[in-house]
Amino acid sequence: MELVTGTLEKLHEGTVWAEGPVWIPQSQSVRWSDIPNNRILEFNPASGRTREYATAVEYTNGRTLDHDGSVVQCSHGRRRVERDHDGVVSSIVDSFGDHRLNSPNDVVVAKDGTVWFTDPPYGILPGTVEGHEGEQEYGGCYVFRFDPAARELSPVVTDLVHPNGLAFSPDESLLYVADTAGPGRGVPFRIAAYPVKDGRCGEGSTFVELEDGRASDGFRVDVEGRVWTSAGPSVRVYAPDGGLLAAVDVPERVSNLCFGGPDGRDLYITATTSLYRLRTATQDAARR
């Protein structure tokens, strides 16, 4: 079966660094971040138009849909994970004990409503244009699980250097997490996989290792458990066993992607200055 059934279309141009796409069923549009420009954009495929959804947003990055249709997103500037409910933005979690988070980067909501997110330092590094310079207060870069009912924040992955994109396998028995630290920090670009049980992660292993210049920043998992990921200036699709199934070149460095469109089979791709779309034969495992 051909997984990619169309050719790459450019839908919008004019961002400095595009990231954090999510499909919003309510408005039938894709929402994403232009992080250095500190704004959120929305593209509506029916009209073909892009609008500025919000400005001065404190450097939002990755986002996902919660079960109630609200959007859960990461804010580098506020160093928190927050909720956008019809334009009203409120904090979900912003600290680990007495320490502020670094700069949450990407987030998923599990079937049980818990919020899982990565916390690398990209939004607080010296000279950053994606947030405000600051200290790493708890001294690490963890993946966290937040239980909104118990208001409890737990580190679930602590052995990655710069955890970035994350997604569950369809049955949530595995959590995939990208590490974008890379050879410059003495580790390979890779996606790690962790077995998940009772809200905790077991020992991780490398799912795929990517060559230098081909970092995986963000990804989604489809209904068959395939991983659709950014890989430098390309999108790659990996089978659950790590085998490469497809690769599509993109003219710019890709950060992230999401499934969307009326039937959920359009892949929206955020890539540096542009938003692209690719028609596929599948849908997001987490589609609801």
Where do contacts with Mg ion occur on this chain (CB under 5 A)?
105-106, 164, 217-218
Q: Which residue's CB is nearer to Mg ion, number 17 or number 146?
A: 17
Q: How far is the CB of 74 from Mg ion (least distance, A)?
A: 8
Q: Identify the burial level of 140 via C-beta atoms within 10 angstroms of its C-beta, where 0-12 means exposed, 13-18 middle and 19 or more buried.
A: middle
Q: How far is the CB of 167 from Mg ion (least distance, A)?
A: 12
Q: How far is the CB of 178 from Mg ion (least distance, A)?
A: 8
Q: How far is the CB of 265 from Mg ion (least distance, A)?
A: 23
Q: How far is the CB of 48 from Mg ion (least distance, A)?
A: 27
Q: Which residue's CB is nearer to Mg ion, number 217 or number 222?
A: 217
**What Å distances lie between residue 264 and 28, 40, 223, CA to CA?**
10, 22, 11
Structure-token pair, residue 109: 């909501």
Q: Cα angle at 73 between 67 and 78, to 5 degrees?
A: 140
**For the CA atoms of the chain, what is the radius of gyration?**
17
Q: Which residue's CB is nearer to Mg ion, number 230 or number 282?
A: 230
Q: Which residue's CB is nearer to Mg ion, number 131 or number 218?
A: 218
Q: Which residue's CB is nearer to Mg ion, number 188 or number 195?
A: 188
Q: Do residues 79 and 134 touch, judged by C-beta distance below 8 A?
A: yes
Interatomic CA distance for residues 168 and 267, integer angstroms:
18
Of the candidates 120, 13, 4, which has an alpha carbon nearest to the alpha carbon of residue 62?
A: 120
